[in-house]
């Protein structure tokens, strides 16, 4: 079902500052985007066959702002690539996994994304991502 690690989502307070650090590591931004539904502004840094996603909150009540308030900045989620997200969600629901999103939502770059609740994944917020 899972093809690869699509990206690692890192919650940051200041996207521009954090981006500079990833550039210092030698990575180059593939671009930034505001994803309104998730209340985030993101920047993607491809590395090998995967990417780092830096996320800054656009609102004090968004999931990234809440995460940082509780835990400080750091890894907020891991995203796995899937071929067919509707099928993956149906299979996981059938197996009793707690879904945050029953249906795919809009993800950066036009991906279809859905989250699994950390309470049923041993403490890791998992994102499924289908993209071309
Ligand atoms: C743009 C897009 C893309 O890639 O294209 C993205 O990535 S958007 C990325 C941002 N979007 C999202 O994260 C959307 C999905 N996330 C959510 O719906 C939410 O953040 C939840 C994961 C449901 C948590 O929200 P909630 O208000 O319930 O927070 P809460 O603090 O009460 O958390 C409930 C319990 O889950 C734990 N918990 C919360 N967030 C967690 C996280 N990121 N990783 C691991 N555990 C986490 C808390 O410690 C708590 O456990 P205890 O009860 O033991 O204390
Ligand atoms: Co993500």
Q: Which residues line the pocket of ligand 1, CB cutoff 6 A?
A: 9, 35, 38, 40, 42, 53, 55, 63-64, 66-67, 70, 76-77, 79, 100, 107-108, 111, 113, 115, 117-119, 123-125, 127
CATH number at residue 38: 3.10.180.10
Which value does ipTM take for this structure? 0.98
Quick: pLDDT tens for 83-114: 999 999 999 999 999 999 999 999 999 999 99
Q: How many domains does the chain have?
A: 1
Residue 38 has φ and ψ, to the nearest 5°, of: -95, 0
Alpha-helical regions (H) of the chain? 15-24, 63-71, 85-94
**Residue 33 in contact with residue 56, Cβ under 8 Å?**
no
Cα separations (Å) of 121 from 25, 39, 81, 116, 124? 30, 24, 17, 7, 6
Quick: pLDDT tens for 27-81: 999 999 999 999 999 999 999 999 999 999 999 999 999 999 999 999 999 999 9
Average pLDDT over residues 1-23: 98
Residue 72 has φ and ψ, to the nearest 5°, of: 80, 175
pLDDT (0 to 100) of residue 34: 98
Q: Which one of 58, 77, 98 would you pick to mutate in the ligand 1 pocket, going by the greatest count of ligand atoms within 8 A of its CB?
A: 77
Q: Is 74 helix (H, G, I), strand (E, B) or coil?
A: strand
Residue 9 Cα to ligand 2 midpoint, Å, equals 5
Of all ligands present, the nearest one to the C-alpha of 40 is 1
Range of the domain at 63: 1-128
Q: Which atom of ligand 1 is nearest to the CA of 125?
A: 44
């Amino acid at each position: 079902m899972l093809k690869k690690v699509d990206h690692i989502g890192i919650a940051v307070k200041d996207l521009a500052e954090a981006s500079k650090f990833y550039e210092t590591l030698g990575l180059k931004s593939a671009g930034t985007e505001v994803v309104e539904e998730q209340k985030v502004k993101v920047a993607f840094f491809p590395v090998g066959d995967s990417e780092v996603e830096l996320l800054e909150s656009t609102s004090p009540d968004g999931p990234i702002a809440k995460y940082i308030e509780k835990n400080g900045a750091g890894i907020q989620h891991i995203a796995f690539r899937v071929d067919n997200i509707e099928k993956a969600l149906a299979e996981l629901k059938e197996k009793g996994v707690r879904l945050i999103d029953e249906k795919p939502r809009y993800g950066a770059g036009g991906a279809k994304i859905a989250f699994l609740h950390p309470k049923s994944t041993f403490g890791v917020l998992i994102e499924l991502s289908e993209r071309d």
